[in-house]
Chains A and B, each alone.
Chain A
């Protein structure tokens, strides 16, 4: 942790950055921190409670963050995939941001719960994560970590839904999505949702009905999943932010599964590898076309 603070202070003193995005802890728990001067660097922390994906602040629609000037961001290896996504889609230039990678041995599912990281409270996305440090980063800090313990099969639920019949699936999703109040927290927290004007906000015509009933909710969540197909970095922020506790990750992981099966693509932290939707091959499968 001291290493992180020292590095941050050095970057400020050498005038390499104007602001730094990291994590801090106050009496209400861990939250994202905007550090704007060298003497504030002692606020910074990093531990297993730092679940937030700070790459979400890098999208150009956050004009208040852009106004801060040159930024450094603390990233875990999963967040690095989001940063790579923003670079890949020309939302960010690699040289415009200083990336401070932290070695990460997994984060907890619920940052408000006290206690150490155990297999019981590990975030499902961390189980099986093979990257301890982000390759994209300029600086790497922290002690070497081991892979998080646990052997939950996070895709068990996904496979279970896949094995249901159509009516059961429709019933399940109508039930799940009827809880949605369309607060759009999933969109706001998503590092890859950076449109200036979201299709869900358009009213002439209103492609996605804005009132929270299942019909509009279906259109919104299907569209969201489709727009994130091959782009979702699986940071789990949408699920964490959802006040109705809808398992949105299921839709995103299903989309990832489709894209991986059809186009052999998994989301990486390599910005030079193009995403599958928006590119094409002449011999793409078309068994469903008549």
Chain B
């Protein structure tokens, strides 16, 4: 069995979630690696969600919402765009591969585009391999502690 990436998608309720639903009802075949988490708006997507997904063992993340000028809340996606732009470069600066995070605009009528985004992200992450470095960064410390005999019982990692 080859490596199957785990990908978490944070999507907005009004556009991408509906678009993904459309992709399903239109029976478009796509990679089954994506778990969707629905949120009210891309503006609600804190960058900590992305980090948390990586901490808990995701290999890739998709963030998707309404196209500019289409936001249900008028400006949520514009704010999100600035935040993600800065976060993406910061993430790259500390050594997290930006190819693991896909940002996209998918509207409610773009079921086909959603399938493309999912397939492309899955392929990209599959090529990069499992993202072990990030969640393992914590494990290394607890392992060292066990060696020291400080903590006889290793804290159970919840991965």
Query: Would you call A162 an interface residue if the criterion is a C-beta within 8 Å of the partner chain's C-beta atoms?
Result: yes
Query: Would you call B94 an interface residue if the criterion is a C-beta within 8 Å of the partner chain's C-beta atoms?
Result: yes
Query: Would you call B142 an interface residue if the criterion is a C-beta within 8 Å of the partner chain's C-beta atoms?
Result: yes
Complex-state Cα separation, A127 to B137, whole angstroms: 36
Complex-state Cα separation, A276 to B47, whole angstroms: 17
Q: Quick check: B75 and A280 within 8 Å, CB to CB? A: yes
State which of A77-85, A86-94, A136-144, A170-178 sits at the interface with chain B.
A170-178
Identify which of A166, A216, A254, A280 contacts B90 (C-beta below 8 A): A254
Q: Quick check: B141 and A282 within 8 Å, CB to CB? A: no
Q: Quick check: A171 and B95 within 8 Å, CB to CB? A: yes
Query: Would you call B3 an interface residue if the criterion is a C-beta within 8 Å of the partner chain's C-beta atoms?
Result: no
A 208-242 to B, binary, CB cutoff 8 A, 1 in contact else 0: 11000111101100110110011000000000000
Query: Would you call B123 an interface residue if the criterion is a C-beta within 8 Å of the partner chain's C-beta atoms?
Result: no
Contacts of A279 in B (CB 8 A): 82
Assuming the contacts A170-B95, A172-B95, A214-B141, asked whether A285 and B51 have C-beta atoms less than 8 A apart, the reply is: no
Complex-state Cα separation, A171 to B134, whole angstroms: 10
Contacts of B79 in A (CB 8 A): 278, 280
Complex-state Cα separation, A219 to B94, whole angstroms: 11
Q: Quick check: B85 and A223 within 8 Å, CB to CB? A: no
A 279-290 to B, binary, CB cutoff 8 A, 1 in contact else 0: 111101110111
Q: Quick check: B86 and A213 within 8 Å, CB to CB? A: no
Report how many residues on chain A are interfacial, defined by Cβ distance under 8 Å: 48
Q: Quick check: A258 and B86 within 8 Å, CB to CB? A: yes
Q: Quick check: B93 and A280 within 8 Å, CB to CB? A: no
Assuming the contacts A213-B137, A214-B138, A285-B85, asked whether A222 and B91 have C-beta atoms less than 8 A apart, the reply is: yes
Query: Would you call B81 an interface residue if the criterion is a C-beta within 8 Å of the partner chain's C-beta atoms?
Result: yes
Contacts of A167 in B (CB 8 A): 95
A234 vs chain B, min Cβ distance (A): 16
Complex-state Cα separation, A213 to B145, whole angstroms: 11
Complex-state Cα separation, A174 to B134, whole angstroms: 9
Q: Quick check: B104 and A289 within 8 Å, CB to CB? A: yes
Which residue on B lies nearest to A285, using beta carbons? B85
Q: Quick check: B82 and A284 within 8 Å, CB to CB? A: yes
Identify which of A215, A223, A251 contacts B47 (C-beta below 8 A): A223
Q: Quick check: B134 and A277 within 8 Å, CB to CB? A: no
Complex-state Cα separation, A222 to B142, whole angstroms: 22
Which residue on A lies nearest to B55, using beta carbons? A215
Query: Would you call A1 an interface residue if the criterion is a C-beta within 8 Å of the partner chain's C-beta atoms?
Result: no
Q: For residues 143 through 185 of chain A, which have their beta carbon under 8 Å from a beta carbon of chain B?
A: 161-162, 166-174, 178
Complex-state Cα separation, A208 to B78, whole angstroms: 26
Complex-state Cα separation, A251 to B86, whole angstroms: 12
Contacts of B13 in A (CB 8 A): none
Which residue on B lies nearest to A161, using beta carbons? B93
Query: Would you call A255 an interface residue if the criterion is a C-beta within 8 Å of the partner chain's C-beta atoms?
Result: yes
Q: Quick check: B85 and A288 within 8 Å, CB to CB? A: yes
Complex-state Cα separation, A168 to B97, whole angstroms: 12
Complex-state Cα separation, A161 to B93, whole angstroms: 8
Which residue on A lies nearest to B135, using beta carbons? A215
Which residue on B lies nearest to A208, using beta carbons? B48
A245 vs chain B, min Cβ distance (A): 18
B 17-58 to A, binary, CB cutoff 8 A, 1 in contact else 0: 000000000000000000000000000001110011001000
Complex-state Cα separation, A199 to B49, whole angstroms: 12
Q: List 21 A-B contacts (CB under 8 A).
A: A162-B93, A166-B96, A169-B93, A173-B94, A174-B137, A207-B46, A207-B48, A213-B138, A214-B140, A218-B51, A218-B137, A222-B91, A222-B94, A223-B51, A230-B86, A255-B90, A258-B90, A280-B82, A289-B104, A290-B102, A290-B117
